Amino acid sequence: MILDKDLSSIQEARDMVRKAKLAYDSFAGASGEEIDKILRAMVKTIVENAEYLARMTVEETKYGVIEHKVIKNLFASRDVYEAIKNIKTTGILREDKENKVIEAATPVGVVLGIVPTTNPTSTIIHNTLCAVKAGNAIVFSPHPKAVKSSVATAVLLHDAAVKAGAPAGLVACLSQSTMEASDALMHHPDVSVIVATGGSAMVKAAYSAGKPALGVGPGNVPAFIERSADIRQAVQDIMTSKTFDNGMICASEQAIIADAPVKEQVVAELKRQGGYFLSPEETNKVSAIVMTPRCGMNAAWVGQTAIAIAAKAGISVPQDTKILIAPLDGYGAEYPLSHEKLTTVLAFYTVGDWEEACRLSIELLKLGGIGHTFSIHSKNDTVIREFLQKPVSRIVVNTPSALGGIGYSTGLLPSLTLGCGTWGGSSLSENLGPQHFTNIKRLAYGTKEVCLAQNAVPQKTAVSGFSSDEVAGVVRQVLKQLQLQ
């Protein structure tokens, strides 16, 4: 029995970092071939245990869908490995013979990963592969509600890596999750960089720890259905995305913005595919359940089904309802459902044209998703490109936003950690990959002759009408006279 969990967790954190540092020192010189062997072993064990980890996560957190978490575990392992296996992260990266510059990669050291309760196993899998690919050790601080599944994932990865030749301690996860332990990890001198995936408070704490941090922010993704869109496909994409793991991926849609000329088609198609439009009274009831008084997400209803939310709110909906849709006339504090909702609830707006959609989407992003992701369904490439000017790091087109944002259905780098750029207070604007866990040193040869002395002293200089030789003669005469005195 642990009598003082805070002190015990701090000691565990210190011991874990010490072992990780020893493992890193031993592992830092590993070749690309050795690293790839370890990565393949880790991927193999995750593929074999993807369902086991998914079931454990849902049982522990009470969030999401088992089958979808299996997909995320496979994506975070198999798909991520295929995407990063050819990214060079060791030795000579590039040699510029013309400018005589050689770039070489070195690991950053011990990485600290902050793990969210929404995607604990898949986040650990992804971040481990990326960190180890670059030759680093990694330790994790799990969310208190996801300790069991987080530790199980880290143990599987660690044991597979060790069997493949990695040093013990290369991957680890706290078994006692406390704020004190997380703080001890963030401020430990042997932790080189922090990857913070989670709530805004934890991300801000990571950035204030006094060392490099890669943090991500919340998403409040607007999805604009423009008048030229394939309406049936656009609605299907949104329904697929918002019901995937019950809407817990931060790149999932939070509001549909319908172009006025196609609004009725969009509404009809949403209803046909399992969307239930709430009345104003029902909207207030759902809002009271799903959101907090400060317009935050009620953690108890993260990743829950539309049926369960409706039942709790006392609303009778058809049994095939997949998404609850709240038509809103505004946004901000008076409209709580205009904020991020990591569950099966969507806001719904109507606009007159794409320019109004631009203005509204920016206002929605300002509520907590600035810098993250914007989704558009359109066949008009001119309109699509207009949204390149918007303050987001990724714009996904004609695809489910959640799956497009993480690189599952787009050409973006497969990742479970999505940067928000400086708009969202993040040092990262792209999807996190192994390239973010390397230091790049540059060997630069001299290419230009430097003759500072010759350039600095002119041969002839006129001073008040006299040449430099005449001035020098006067100086010699004065010095001679001084010597005679």
Token match 């172009």: residue? 259
Collapse the DSSP code of 126 into the 3-class scheme (helix H, G, I; strand E, B; otherwise coil) and give the result.
helix
> Which of 338, 353, 324, 259 is CA-nearest to residue 296?
338
373 alpha carbon, distance to own chain's centre: 11
- Helix locations, 276-353, DSSP H: 280-290, 306-313
DSSP state of 422: G
- Measured CA to CA, the distance from residue 478 to residue 485 in angstroms comes to 11
- What is the rounded distance in angstroms from the CA atom of residue 242 to the CA atom of residue 257? 15
CA distance 348 to 235: 13
Collapsing DSSP states into helix, strand and coil, what is residue 262? Answer: helix
In sequence order, what are the residues at sequence separation of 6 or more whose Cβ sits closer than 8 angstroms to the Cβ of residue 451?
none
Distance in angstroms (rounded) separating the CA atoms of residues 438 and 435: 6
Q: Are 400 and 68 in contact (CB under 8 A)?
A: no
250 is catalytic: yes
Phi, psi of 89 (to 5 degrees): -130, 5
Distances (CA, A) of 136 to 89, 102, 109, 358, 428: 11, 22, 5, 42, 19
Which of 333, 217, 331, 323 lies closest to 272, judged by CA? 323
What tokens were used for 74?
């496979």
Catalytic residue among 250, 295, 358, 420: 250
Cβ atoms of residues 319 and 338 within 8 Å: no
Q: How far apart are CA 447 and CA 207, in angstroms?
A: 39
Cα(343)–Cα(327) distance, rounded to whole angstroms?
17
Q: In this structure, are residues 89 and 133 in contact, taking their beta carbons and an 8 Å threshold?
A: yes
| First-last CA distance in the chain | 97
Q: At what angle do helices 263-272 and 231-243 cross, to 10 degrees?
A: 50
Is residue 147 exposed (0-12), middle (13-18) or buried (19+ Cβ within 10 Å)? buried
Task: Return the active site residues.
Answer: 250
